[in-house]
Chain A
Amino acid sequence: MTDPERGKISANISLFRMYAEKKDHDLAGVLVNDYYGFRIDYSSVGQLFSYLDEFLDYVNFPMAATRRRTFGESAPEKREAMPEHVKDVEDGAIPDRQPDFILHVQFRQGATWQGTLRRADRQTTRRFRSELELITLIMNALDIERGKDL
Chain B
Amino acid sequence: MRILRRRYEKPDVPDRLPTDVEKSRINVFKQSLLGYNNMNAYGRMERGSRDMESSTEKDMLQVQMLGDFCLTYNGKVLSGESVRAKQVWNLLEYIAANRGRENSLDRIIEALWEEGDAEDPANALKNLAYRLRTTLKNSLGLPASDYIVFKHGTYSWNMEAPCVFDTDLFEEELKRAKQQGLSREEIYQHYSRAVSLYKGNYMPQASYKQWAQSQTAYYQRLFMEAAAVLSGMLLEDQRYAEAEDACRAAIACDPFVEVNHINLIHALVGSNNQKKAREHYEFVCRLYLDELGVKPSDTITKIYMDVINQNAEFERDLATIKEELKEDTEVKGALMCNFEVFRSIYRLQARAALRSGSSIYIALLTATGRDGAEIRPEMLERIVDNMTTVISSFLRKDDMVCRYGRAQFLIMLANITYENMGMVLDRLIRQINACRMGQKVEVHGQVRALDPVELEEKRHD
Q: Is B418 close to A, CB under 8 A?
A: yes
Q: Is B21's CB within 8 Å of the partner chain A?
A: no
Q: Which of B355-385 contact A (CB under 8 A)?
A: 355, 357-359, 361
Cross-chain contact B460 with A63 (CB below 8 angstroms): no
B449 near A109 with CB under 8 A, answer: yes
Q: How far is the CA of A65 from the CA of B451 in the complex (A)?
A: 11
Contacts of A61 in B (CB 8 A): 357
Bound-complex Cα distance A77 to B251 (A): 54
Main secondary structure of the interface of B (DSSP, over half): mixed
Taken together as a complex, chains A and B put the C-alpha atoms of A67 and B422 apart, in Å, by 12
Cβ–Cβ contact B359 & A64, under 8 A = yes
* CB contact under 8 A between A106 and B417, given known A63-B357, A126-B461: no
> How many interface residues does chain B have, given as a range?
10 to 19
**Contact status B460-A64, CB under 8 Å:** no
A62 within 8 A of B: yes
On whether A66 and B418 interact (CB within 8 A), knowing A106-B354, A114-B455, the answer reads yes
Contact between B461 and A106, CB atoms less than 8 A apart: no
Q: Which residues of A sit under 8 angstroms from B461, Cβ to Cβ?
A: 125-127
List chain A residues, Cβ under 8 A from B357.
Answer: 9, 11, 14, 60-63
Proximity bits, A44-84, B CB within 8 Å = 1, else 0? 00000000000000001111111100000000010000000
A36 within 8 Å of B (CB atoms) = no
Residues of B within 8 A of A10 (CB): 355
**A residues within 8 A CB of B415?**
63
B353 touches A107 (CB 8 A): yes
Q: Are A109 and B359 in contact (CB under 8 A)?
A: yes
Indicate which residue in A11, A67, A107 contacts B455 across the interface (CB closer than 8 Å): A107
A63 near B354: Cβ-Cβ < 8 Å: no
| Interface membership of chain B positions 424-458, coded 1 if the CB is closer than 8 angstroms to chain A and 0 otherwise | 00000000000000000000000001001011000
Shortest distance between the CB of B81 and any CB in chain A (Å): 67
Query: Are the C-beta atoms of A67 and B419 separated by less than 8 Å?
Result: yes
B362 to chain A, nearest CB (A): 12
Are A65 and B460 touching (Cβ within 8 A)? no
Chain A 119-150 against B: per-residue CB contact (8 Å), 1 yes, 0 no? 00000011101000000000000000000000
Indicate whether A106 sits within 8 Å of B449 (C-beta atoms), given known contacts A67-B417, A127-B460.
no
Q: Is A65 within 8 A of B449, CB to CB? A: yes
Listed A/B pairs (26) with beta-carbon separation below 8 Å: A9-B357, A10-B355, A14-B357, A60-B357, A63-B357, A63-B358, A63-B359, A63-B415, A64-B417, A65-B418, A66-B417, A67-B417, A106-B354, A106-B454, A107-B354, A107-B452, A107-B454, A107-B455, A108-B359, A109-B449, A110-B449, A126-B461, A127-B454, A127-B460, A127-B461, A129-B455
